[in-house]
Amino acid sequence: MLPHLLFSAFLFLNTYFFRFGVAQTCPRPPTCPTISPPPRPTRTVSYVRPRPPLYNPSLNLLPRQPNNNPGPLANRARILAITQELKRNITFDPQNYTGTWVGNNYCLFKGFLCDTVPDRNITGLAGIDFNGARFRGNLNFYRFIANLPDIAIFHANSNNFSGVINRGLRGLRYFYEIDLSNNKFMGGFPSNVLGATNLSFVDLRFNNYLGSVPRSLFNFDTDVLFINNNVFSQTIPTDFGNTPALYLTLANNNFTGTIPRSIGAASDTMTEVLFLGNKLSGCLPFEIGYLNRSTVFDVGSNRLTGPIPQSFGCLAKLQLLNMAHNKFYGSVPEVLCRLPNAFNFTLSNNYFTQVGPQCRRLIRLRRLNVNRNCIMGLPFQRSAADCASFFSRPRTCARESTFNIIPCRLPAASLRTRTVSQEDEVPPTPKSYNALVKPPH
Ligand SMILES: *[C@@H]1O[C@H](CO)[C@@H](O)[C@H](O)[C@H]1NC(C)=O
Ligand SMILES: *[C@@H]1O[C@H](CO)[C@@H](O)[C@H](O)[C@H]1NC(C)=O
Ligand SMILES: *[C@@H]1O[C@H](CO)[C@@H](O)[C@H](O)[C@H]1NC(C)=O
Ligand SMILES: *[C@@H]1O[C@H](CO)[C@@H](O)[C@H](O)[C@H]1NC(C)=O
Ligand SMILES: *[C@@H]1O[C@H](CO)[C@@H](O)[C@H](O)[C@H]1NC(C)=O
Ligand SMILES: *[C@@H]1O[C@H](CO)[C@@H](O)[C@H](O)[C@H]1NC(C)=O
Ligand SMILES: *[C@@H]1O[C@H](CO)[C@@H](O)[C@H](O)[C@H]1NC(C)=O
Ligand SMILES: CC(=O)N[C@H]1CO[C@H](CO)[C@@H](O)[C@@H]1O
C-alpha cells in the first residue's frame, strides 16, 4: 500500500510540475530520480481534481468521473431531449458547438461541463459555458435551464437567448452563477431569478431590461450583481444598503432619484460600486463615509449636486473615485485628498471652487483631476460666466449639518503629509469596470 501511495504522490508531483512549469530543482542529487521532461501524463491519480469543482466545495463531493466514462448520468433523458430541442432552434452556430451534441453522453458535448453531483456517486451536468458561442435562433433560456436540474453555473453571454423566466429557479438547488449578459432579454427585471436562493454571481448586463428593479433586488443574497447597460429607470429602492454584494454595477441605465441613505449599511461588504451614467440627482448622503471597504466609488455623469461630505475622509481603502460630469460644488475636502490609497480621483466638470494644499499635492501627482470646475488660479477651469450663472441660483442640500460628520477615526496616513514617492505603488485592478465593456458579439 505504502509504495503504491508513494508512487501516486510521485506521479502527482510530476504532473504538477509538468502542468505548472515549476522549476525542477533537486536538492540531493544522489537520490534524485532522473527526470526527463515527462511525456503527456497518461495516468492521472483519481483523487486529484483536474480543475476546481463546479459545485460548491463546501458540499460533500465525491471524486469526479472522467468525461469519457462518467458512469451513470443524472437526468440523462431529460437533458438530451432539451438539448436536441435547443439544437433544432439554433440557426447559426459559427463555432460548431451543436456538431458535438450527438450520442448519449452529454459530458462530451461542447459547452457542457460535468461533475459528480454532491452527495451522490453519479455524474451530473454541472455547468453550461456558451460564452461567446454567438448562437442565433430563438433560444428560450428558461425552458432550457429548467430542464437542467443539477446545474451550478450557466454562462451564456453574447448569444440570442431571450424569453420570459417563467417561474422561480428555486428547483435548481445547486445554481450559483448566472451570466446572461449581452443577450436579447427584454421586458421587466426577471424577478424570478431572485427565486434562486444560492446565486452568488448574477450578470444581466447589456440586455434590454427596462422599468424599475424589484424592491427585493437589494435584499437578494449575492456577491456580484451586474445590471449595467440596460434601461432600468425609476428610483433605487430605499433599502439599497441591505445588499450583501461586493461588486455592484448599476451604470448606464436610466435610474433617477437620490442615492439612498441606507448605503452606509453595506459597509461590511460593498467593495466596488458603479452608479455612473444614470440620472441620479440630489446631494450625496454622508453615510457613504461608512463604506470603509470600498476601493471604487463611481457616480460620474449623473445630475448629482451639493458638496462632498467630509465623511469621505473615512473611505480608507478608496483608490478610484469618479464624480465627474455632475453639479457638485463647494471646496474639495482636504480629508478626501489625504486618503492613503488615492490613485485616481476624478472631479472634473463640476462647480468646485476651492482646493487646499493636500489636494494641490494630489493634483501635482496627477492623482486628482479637477479640470473644468470654478477653482480660481488653476488651469483648465470653466469660464467665469459659466460659474456665475451656476451660482446665481441658491444651492442647498437637505440635512446640511450632516456634511461635517466624520464617522470614523481618520485613517492614519491622513494625519501626516506623505513625502515618499508613490511611483512604485501597484495600480489598482478594479473588477467592476470590466463589466462596462460589452462582451464581443
Ligand atoms: C462510484 O461508482 C463507481 C461506479 O460507477 C464505483 O466504481 C466507485 O467505487 C464508486 N465510488 C464510491 C466512492 O462510492
Ligand atoms: C461540426 O463538428 C462535427 C463533429 O465534430 C463534424 O462532424 C462536422 O463536420 C462539423 N461541421 C462543420 C460545419 O464544421
Ligand atoms: C433572436 O431571437 C428572437 C426571438 O427571441 C428571434 O426573433 C430573432 O430572429 C433571433 N435573432 C437571430 C439573429 O437569430
Ligand atoms: C425552441 O423554439 C420553439 C419555437 O419557437 C420555442 O417554443 C421553444 O421554447 C424553444 N426552445 C428552446 C429550448 O429554446
Ligand atoms: C429615460 O428616462 C427619461 C425620463 O427621465 C425618458 O424620457 C427617456 O426616454 C428614458 N430613456 C430610455 C432609453 O428609456
Ligand atoms: C469600518 O467601519 C466599521 C463601522 O462602521 C468598523 O467597525 C470597522 O472597524 C471599520 N473598519 C476599518 C478597517 O476601519
Ligand atoms: C481616472 O478615472 C477616470 C474616470 O473614471 C478615467 O476616465 C481616467 O481614464 C482614469 N485615469 C487613469 C490614468 O486611469
Ligand atoms: C447548495 C446550497 O448552498 N444550498 C443552499 C441553498 O439555499 C438554501 C436556503 O437558502 C440552503 O438551505 C441550502 O443549503
Got the DSSP string for 36-84?
PPPPPPS---TTS-SS--SS-TTS--PPPPPTTS--SBTTHHHHHHHHH
- CA-324 nearest atom, ligand 7: 4
Q: Is the pLDDT of residue 170 over 80?
A: no
Q: Are 301 and 277 a contacting pair, CB within 8 Å? A: yes
- Going from N- to C-terminal start, the domains of the chain cover 55-170, 212-411
Ligand 7 site, residue 348, Cβ cutoff 6 A: no
**158 CA to middle of ligand 4, Å?**
18
Q: How far apart are CA 279 and CA 274, in angstroms?
A: 13
Q: Are 111 and 53 a contacting pair, CB within 8 Å? A: no
DSSP code per residue over 390-413 = HHTS----TTGGGGG---SPPPGG
Q: Tell me the average pLDDT across 12-37.
A: 33
Contacts of 248 (CB under 8 A, 6+ apart): 225, 226, 270, 272, 273, 274, 432
How do residues 197-212 score in pLDDT, each as one tens digit? 788 889 999 988 889 9
pTM comes to 0.82
What's the pLDDT band for 161 if we cut at 50, 70, 90?
Answer: confident
Q: Tell me the average pLDDT across 318-332.
A: 97
Q: Are 156 and 177 a contacting pair, CB within 8 Å? A: no
Query: Under CATH, domain 212-411 is a member of which superfamily?
Result: Ribonuclease Inhibitor (3.80.10.10)
How do residues 338-369 score in pLDDT, each as one tens digit? 999 999 999 999 999 999 999 999 999 999 99
**251 CA to middle of ligand 8, Å?**
30
Phi, psi dihedrals of residue 269, rounded to the nearest 5°: -130, -45
Ligand 6 site, residue 353, Cβ cutoff 6 A: no
Q: Whose CA is nearest to atom 14 of ligand 7?
A: 344
Q: Tell me the average pLDDT across 418-427.
A: 56
**310 CA to middle of ligand 3, Å?**
51
**233 CA to middle of ligand 3, Å?**
25
Q: Whose CA is nearest to atom 14 of ligand 2?
A: 96
CATH topology agreement for domains 55-170 and 212-411? yes
Of these ranges, 33-37, 45-49, 204-208, 332-336, the one predicted with the greatest mean pLDDT is 332-336
- CA-91 nearest atom, ligand 3: 14
Provide the CATH number for the domain formed by 55-170 in this structure.
3.80.10
Partners of 304 in the β-ladder: 282
Element holding 121 (H helix, E strand): none
**91 CA to middle of ligand 3, Å?**
9
Contacts of 380 (CB under 8 A, 6+ apart): 371, 372
Partners of 248 in the β-ladder: 225, 273
